[in-house]
Amino acid sequence: MKNIIIFGAPGSGKGTYSDEIVAKYGMGHISTGDVLRGEIKNGTELGKIAKGYIDNGQLIPDELMIDILAKTYDAQTKGQGMIFDGFPRTIAQAEALKKMLADRKDDMGMMIELVVDEETLMARLLNRAIEQGRADDNEETIKKRFDVYRNQTAPLAEWFEKEGLRHTFNWKGSKEQMLAEIFEAIDAANK
């Protein structure tokens, strides 16, 4: 099974579609946020270093994030395929991930880009704030996250295009329709 990088703006459904792909194909799933919280909670050496950055309000350096992802990746069953959810977010991270996988005689596989208009994203995130009580999902913060995504993360889509890995799926109002298109692309890539 090929690895998959799931890519999209905040609220585009990366976690939701990752869960559906995992359920259908039995792949591993690395959510960078979950992995970081787990390393910190378990008090691992990498977790302690990461916590130091987080506690000081700093971003975790790419090298440390790659080390944490490599540890998680190496613990998975070889050939099972892995979904990378929330990483990479920059070209430097993508290149580091590509190298980490190449060192293991593997590759990125494919990138699934979820494209949803900002009005729909805003409504989803505000609804999530109500349903899940997430303080980070308020209109002002969401707008800042969209700006960061547009300026720092969205340009990475072109990098994936040049690598020949980009598969784009536009929201048409139906999760089922989008899932069917995503599954079709995954099946085609794994023939």
Both structure tokens of 65? 């994030």
- Of all residues in the chain, the percent with pLDDT exceeding 90 is 57
- For 76-88, the pLDDT digits (tens) are 888 889 999 988 9
Helix (H, G, I), strand (E, B) or coil at 60: coil
Splitting the chain (191 residues) into consecutive groups of 10 residues, what average pLDDT does each group show?
94 93 94 83 88 76 87 87 91 94 95 95 91 78 86 92 96 92 96 90
What pLDDT sits at residue 110?
A: 97
Task: Using a cut of 0.85, tell me whether the model's pTM lies above it.
Answer: yes
Q: What is the CA 129 to chain-centroid distance, rounded?
A: 20
14 is catalytic: yes
89 is catalytic: yes
What's the whole-number average pLDDT of the chain?
90
What pLDDT sits at residue 32?
A: 82
Angle (CA) 78-84-133 rounded to 5° is 135
What pLDDT sits at residue 57?
A: 66
What pLDDT sits at residue 77?
A: 82
Choice among 71, 134, 144, 175 that is catalytic: 134
Q: How far apart are CA 10 and CA 118, in angstroms?
A: 9
145 is catalytic: yes
